[in-house]
Amino acid sequence: MALPALAARELGPRLQLEQGAPARTTCPRRHSRVEAELAASRPGSVAASVCAGPPRGVSHGFNSSPLLDEPPKASSSLAGALRAPLFALLPRGRRRRMHDLRRRWDLGSLCRALLTRGLAALGHWLKHVLSAVFSKIFSPLASVGNMDEKSNKLLLALVMLFLFAVIVLQYVCPGTECQLLRLQAFSSPVPDPYGSEDESSARFVPRYNFSRGDLLRKVDFDIKGDDLIVFLHIQKTGGTTFGRHLVRNIQLEQPCECRVGQKKCTCHRPGKRETWLFSRFSTGWSCGLHADWTELTSCVPAVVDGKRDARLRPSRNFHYITILRDPVSRYLSEWRHVQRGATWKASLHVCDGRPPTSEELPSCYTGDDWSGCPLKEFMDCPYNLANNRQVRMLSDLTLVGCYNLSVMPEKQRNKVLLESAKSNLKHMAFFGLTEFQRKTQYLFEKTFNMNFISPFTQYNTTRASSVEINEEIQKRIEGLNFLDMELYSFAKDLFLQRYQFMRQKDHQEARRKRQEQRKFLKGRFLQTHFQSQSQGQSQNPSQNLSQNPNPNANQNLTQNVTQSLTQNLTQSSNPNWIQKENRASQKQGPGQEQSESNTSNGTNDYMGSVETWR
Q: Is 268 helix (H, G, I), strand (E, B) or coil?
A: strand
The mean-pLDDT minimum among 73-77, 148-152, 170-174, 251-255 falls in 73-77
The mean-pLDDT minimum among 51-60, 281-290, 497-506 falls in 51-60
Please give the Cα distance from 349 to 291 (Å, whole number): 7
Amino acid making up residue 428:
M
Overall average pLDDT of the 414-420 stretch: 97
**What is the number of other CB atoms lying within 10 angstroms of the CB of residue 403?**
18
- Give the best-scoring range by mean pLDDT among 13-17, 122-126, 400-404, 529-533: 400-404
Say what the pLDDT of residue 174 is.
53
Please give the Cα distance from 491 to 34 (Å, whole number): 87
Cβ-Cβ contacts under 8 Å for 599 (sequence gap 6 or more): 530, 534, 555, 558
Overall average pLDDT of the 530-550 stretch: 62
pLDDT band at 29 (very low <50, low <70, confident <90, very high): very low
Overall average pLDDT of the 600-605 stretch: 47
Please give the Cα distance from 500 to 94 (Å, whole number): 88
pLDDT exceeds 50 at position 96: yes
Please give the Cα distance from 314 to 480 (Å, whole number): 44
The mean-pLDDT minimum among 136-145, 180-189, 246-255, 483-492 falls in 180-189
| pLDDT higher at 531 or 599 | 531
- Give the best-scoring range by mean pLDDT among 45-54, 415-424, 502-511: 415-424
pLDDT exceeds 80 at position 405: yes
Please give the Cα distance from 275 to 226 (Å, whole number): 9
pLDDT band at 35 (very low <50, low <70, confident <90, very high): low
Say what the pLDDT of residue 244 is.
95
| pLDDT higher at 1 or 215 | 215
Amino acid making up residue 83:
R
Of residues 194, 219, 212, the one with CA closest to residue 449: 219
The mean of the pLDDT values for the chain is 75
| pLDDT higher at 138 or 422 | 422
Please give the Cα distance from 603 to 589 (Å, whole number): 19
Please give the Cα distance from 313 to 439 (Å, whole number): 36
Query: What are 155-158's contacts with CB under 8 Å, separation 24+?
Result: 155/127, 155/130, 155/131
Task: Please identify every residue annotated as catalytic.
Answer: 290
| pLDDT higher at 610 or 153 | 153
| pLDDT higher at 372 or 40 | 372
**What is the number of other CB atoms lying within 10 angstroms of the CB of residue 122?**
10
Say what the pLDDT of residue 17 is.
42
Say what the pLDDT of residue 296 is.
97
CB contact at 8 A, 507 and 415: no
Please give the Cα distance from 460 to 54 (Å, whole number): 69
Please give the Cα distance from 441 to 457 (Å, whole number): 10
Instruction: Please state the separation of Cα 59 from the chain's center in Å.
Output: 61
CB contact at 8 A, 98 and 62: yes
Say what the pLDDT of residue 3 is.
44
pLDDT exceeds 50 at position 106: yes
Please give the Cα distance from 277 to 448 (Å, whole number): 13
pLDDT exceeds 90 at position 65: no
pLDDT exceeds 90 at position 291: yes
Using a pLDDT cut of 70, give the percent of the chain over it. 61
pLDDT band at 577 (very low <50, low <70, confident <90, very high): very low
Please give the Cα distance from 37 to 490 (Å, whole number): 93
Please give the Cα distance from 527 to 534 (Å, whole number): 11
Of residues 212, 221, 120, the one with CA closest to residue 450: 221
Q: What distance, in Å, lies between the first and last C-alpha atoms of the chain?
A: 114
pLDDT band at 590 (very low <50, low <70, confident <90, very high): very low
Overall average pLDDT of the 78-94 stretch: 57
CB contact at 8 A, 297 and 278: no
| pLDDT higher at 567 or 369 | 369
pLDDT exceeds 70 at position 469: yes
Say what the pLDDT of residue 541 is.
53
Instruction: Please state the separation of Cα 584 from the chain's center in Å.
Output: 57
Three-class SS of 73-136 = CCCCCHHHHHHCCHHHHCCHHHHHHHHHHHHHHCHHHHHHHHHHHHHHHHHHHHHHHHHHHHHH
Say what the pLDDT of residue 310 is.
66
Amino acid making up residue 199:
E
Give residue-wise pLDDT tens across range 323-363.
999 999 999 999 999 999 999 988 999 999 999 999 999 99
Instruction: Please state the separation of Cα 170 from the chain's center in Å.
Output: 12
Overall average pLDDT of the 496-502 stretch: 95
The CA dihedral of 405, 409, 410, 414, to the nearest 10 degrees, is: -100
| pLDDT higher at 255 or 466 | 255
Say what the pLDDT of residue 466 is.
81
Using a pLDDT cut of 90, give the percent of the chain over it. 43
- Give the best-scoring range by mean pLDDT among 231-245, 526-540, 548-562, 594-608: 231-245
Say what the pLDDT of residue 40 is.
53
pLDDT band at 131 (very low <50, low <70, confident <90, very high): confident
CB contact at 8 A, 320 and 296: yes
Overall average pLDDT of the 52-75 stretch: 44
Say what the pLDDT of residue 160 is.
81
Overall average pLDDT of the 509-532 stretch: 87
Of residues 144, 13, 4, the one with CA closest to residue 80: 4
